[in-house]
Amino acid sequence: MQSYSMDHMNHCFTGVDFSVNLCSGENEGSEPKRRVIGEMDFFSEDKKRVNSDHKVPSLSATQKEDLAINTGLQLTVNVSSEQSTLDDGLSPDEEEKERNMEMTAMRIEIGRLNEENKNLRNMLSQASGAYEALHMHLIRLMQQRDLNKRNSLNHNISTVADVTEMVEEPSQSSTEGGSRERSSPTPANSKNEMVLFDREGGRGIGKEEIIDRESNAWLPSREHAKLQQSKDADQAHEATMRKARVSVRARSDASIITDGCQWRKYGQKMAKGNPCPRAYYRCTMAAGCPVRKQVQRCADDRTILVTTYEGSHNHPLPPAAMAMASTTSAAVSMLLSGPMSSSDTLMNSSVFARTMLPSTSTMATISASAPFPTITLDLTQNPNPIQQQKPLNGSHFSLPFSPPPPTTTTTTPTALFGHALYGHSVKPENFPVTSLADTVSAITADPNFTAALAAAISSFMENNNGNKSSVNGNGRSHHTCSDNKIGSS
C-alpha cells in the first residue's frame, strides 16, 4: 500500500501546481485497478520511457485543499499496490515498461488538467474583473444619487447635471467681440473662476477602465453598452468638473483672501483691459496639490476683489475651507445641474441666489459659456444692514466660522474660502449654522463680504443636513502670501 503525491512530478513535468494521488487502499484485495484517471487508457499510450526514480513528497492537507479550490478539481489516481500488480509474474523488464507507461499516461493527463486549470483560472479572473467593474459602477451610481439628493435639497432641483450637454454645447452667445472673452458678470478682464469639484479624487479611471475592458468579454452586450455609457458619462462629467469654475467678487480693501490654505505666488501678469495685475497662486498645503487661485481687482471698481480658485485639493482641508467648499459645492452643483443648454444662464434672483444667499441680495451668476462653465458669486451688492454696522477695520477677509485670534485680528485673518472640495465627501458637520451672524460680528473683516458668505453657508448647512456643532477654532489662516500689491485702490 502506497500513497503517492504527484505534485513533485507535476512540477518536474509541467511546472504547474496540481497533484495526483496514487493510493491503493480502496482496491486492496480486489482486482487490481490500474488507472482511475478519466477515461484514458494509460497502457495504450506510447511506451516512452521515463525515469521513475523521482522522490515524490506528499502534499500537505493545506496544499491539497488549495489545489482543490484553485482548480475546482480533485484528482485522485488510485492504483493497486505496486507490488501486487507488478510482482504478479512479470519480469523486471516488463515491470519497468509498465511503470514507464503509467508515468507517460500520467504526464499526458497532467498536461490536460493543467490546461483545465488554466481555463478555470481565467474564468475566475474574468469573474473577479466583472465583479469589480459592477461594484465600481454601483459605487458611482450611489455617489451620483447622493449628489442628486443634495441638489434636490438645496436647490429644488432633482435632475442630474447634463454634463455632456454642457460640455458639447458651449454658449453661442459670447459677448463683446466674442472671441475668447466669454460672457461674464465680472468685468471684461475678470475671468476669475473657481473649480469646486475633485479633479482626480475618487474618479480614477485607470484601473476601472482596465477592469471594464477585461470584463467586457464577460458581460452581455447590453450590460456592456450600459457600462460603457456610464463610463463615458463619467469621463465627460470629470472633464466638466475639471473645467467648471466659480469666481467670487467681493468689495474689500484686502489685497488677498485667506482661506485656510497655504498659497505660494508663482506669477503675476498684467491682463488686457485691466490696469490691475492678476496674481497667480498655488496651494502649498500639500505637495502636488493642483489647486490654484487668481486674484485680481476689478477694472471698473478697484474696491472689488475678484478671487478665482481652480482645481481640487489633494489633501484634507481645514474646517473653514471645507465649509466654504460645501457652499461652493452647492453652487457648482447648481451650475452643473439643469438643462443649461446654450447661452449664459443668468441666475440673478434665481433659485440659487435665494437658496444660497437668502439674506442678501448677492447675485449668483451662472455661465455655461465656453470654454468653461462658470459661476460667479457677486457679493458686492446691498450689504446686509446688520453687518453694515460693523466698521471695516481689517485688511483681510475673515472666515465667519472661525473666531479671530484674540489680539491680532487684522494681521491673522481667519480662513475664508475653502473652495475646492476634497473629494466628494464634504461633511460640514463641524461648522455652526445658528450663530454665524454673531460670529461674523465678532470678527474684524469686510462686513459686506462675510455677511453674504455667512448667509450662504448658513443656508447651505441648514438645507444640507441641519447638523449643528460648535465653532471650530481651527480655521486660523495659514496664508503665507504677503501683500501682493494687486492694484488696490
Partner DNA sequence: CGGATTTGACCGGCGC
Partner DNA sequence: GCGCCGGTCAAATCCG
Interaction between residue 13 and DNA (CB under 7 A): no
To the nearest whole angstrom, how small is the minimum distance from the Cβ of residue 418 to DNA? 19
**Who contacts 312 (Cβ-Cβ below 8 Å, separation ≥6)?**
195, 196, 197, 198, 199, 200, 201, 290, 291, 420, 421, 422, 423
Among the listed ranges 51-59, 165-173, 278-286, 403-411, the one in contact with DNA (CB under 7 A) is 278-286
Q: Helices 447-464 and 92-155 meet at what angle, rounded to 10?
A: 120
Q: For residue 476, give Cα distances in angstroms to 250, 339, 402, 457.
A: 21, 39, 7, 18
To the nearest whole angstrom, how small is the minimum distance from the Cβ of residue 263 to DNA? 7
Interaction between residue 287 and DNA (CB under 7 A): no
* CB closer to DNA, 202 vs 267: 267
Interaction between residue 269 and DNA (CB under 7 A): yes
* Binding test (CB under 7 A) with DNA, winner from 107, 140, 191, 243: 191
To the nearest whole angstrom, how small is the minimum distance from the Cβ of residue 472 to DNA? 24
The one-letter code for the residue type at 455 is: A
Q: Is 278 helix (H, G, I), strand (E, B) or coil?
A: strand
Question: Which residues in the 136-165 window bind DNA by CB under 7 A?
Answer: none
Among the listed ranges 109-117, 133-141, 225-233, 272-280, the one in contact with DNA (CB under 7 A) is 272-280
Among the listed ranges 212-220, 228-236, 270-278, 463-471, the one in contact with DNA (CB under 7 A) is 270-278
> Beta 363-367 vs 374-378: how paired, if at all?
antiparallel
Question: Which residues in the 351-380 window bind DNA by CB under 7 A?
Answer: 371
420 vs 402: CA distance, rounded Å:
19
* Binding test (CB under 7 A) with DNA, winner from 78, 152, 268, 361: 268
Interaction between residue 239 and DNA (CB under 7 A): no
Size of site (CB under 7 A) for DNA: 28
To the nearest whole angstrom, how small is the minimum distance from the Cβ of residue 269 to DNA? 5
324 vs 311: CA distance, rounded Å:
15
Interaction between residue 131 and DNA (CB under 7 A): no
* CB closer to DNA, 54 vs 265: 265
Q: For residue 471, give Cα distances in angstroms to 18, 226, 272, 311, 486.
A: 64, 46, 42, 27, 32
Q: Helices 447-464 and 319-335 meet at what angle, rounded to 10?
A: 70
In terms of C-beta density within 10 A (0-12 exposed, 13-18 middle, 19 or more buried), how is residue 4 classed? Answer: buried
Q: How far is CA 108 from the centre of its chain?
A: 50
* CB closer to DNA, 279 vs 340: 279
To the nearest whole angstrom, how small is the minimum distance from the Cβ of residue 265 to DNA? 4
Rama region for 254: left / alpha / beta (φ>0; ψ in -120 to 50; rest): beta
**Who contacts 131 (Cβ-Cβ below 8 Å, separation ≥6)?**
none
To the nearest whole angstrom, how small is the minimum distance from the Cβ of residue 334 to DNA? 23
CB 223 within 8 A of CB 402: no
456 vs 440: CA distance, rounded Å:
13
Interaction between residue 272 and DNA (CB under 7 A): yes
**Which one, of 122, 107, 104, lies nearest residue 20 by Cα?**
107
First to last CA, the chain: 102
* CB closer to DNA, 407 vs 482: 482
DSSP string over 89-114: T--HHHHHHHHHHHHHHHHHHHHHHH
* CB closer to DNA, 191 vs 396: 191
Question: Which residues in the 288-317 window bind DNA by CB under 7 A?
Answer: 292, 294
Interaction between residue 271 and DNA (CB under 7 A): yes
* Binding test (CB under 7 A) with DNA, winner from 3, 159, 382, 480: 480
Among the listed ranges 42-50, 129-137, 141-149, 276-284, the one in contact with DNA (CB under 7 A) is 276-284
Interaction between residue 199 and DNA (CB under 7 A): no
To the nearest whole angstrom, how small is the minimum distance from the Cβ of residue 131 to DNA? 39
Interaction between residue 264 and DNA (CB under 7 A): yes
* CB closer to DNA, 24 vs 184: 184
Q: For residue 486, give Cα distances in angstroms to 276, 280, 282, 483.
A: 6, 11, 16, 8
* Binding test (CB under 7 A) with DNA, winner from 280, 309, 422, 431: 280
* CB closer to DNA, 281 vs 352: 281
Name the strand (E) or helix (H) holding 437.
helix 436-442
* Binding test (CB under 7 A) with DNA, winner from 262, 307, 402, 450: 262
**By the criterion CB under 7 A, which residues form the site for DNA?**
179-180, 189, 191, 262-269, 271-273, 278-280, 284, 292, 294, 371, 480-485
